[in-house]
Homo-oligomer: A and B are copies of this chain.
Amino acid sequence: MLKPEILDPQGQAVQRALPRLGFEGISDVRQGKRFELEVDGPVDDAALARIRELAESFLANTVIENFDVKVEDLPGAPGDAPAATVTAGEAK
């Protein structure tokens, strides 16, 4: 997600449209990106460290974005292969 101090025109446009569409009570909307990475083999600390490096150097623009890496089970995958989810900049 964009850092809190960075203007998010897309999120603002969504927020301003909501009352018109009948949805009240949403005080802020921020829009961002999300990546789902399917990992060969175990998602251990070493794999997570590499994915964090990958997210920082390649998926996120760390000048304007925060990011977070989470591990989730992937229900659709054979043998419930684990997947790392990178939200390119979840608010921290």
A: residues with CB less than 8 A from B are: 1, 4, 11, 14, 17-18, 21, 23, 25-41, 47, 50-51, 54, 57-59, 74-76, 81, 87, 90-92
Contacts and interface: CB of A to CB of B under 8 A. Distances in A.
A50 to B, nearest CB: 7
B36 A34 contact: no
Contact of A25 (B35, B39, B75): B39
A33 B33 CA distance: 5
Given A18-B54, A74-B91, A75-B91, A29 B35 contact: yes
A26 B39 contact: yes
A54 B59 CA distance: 28
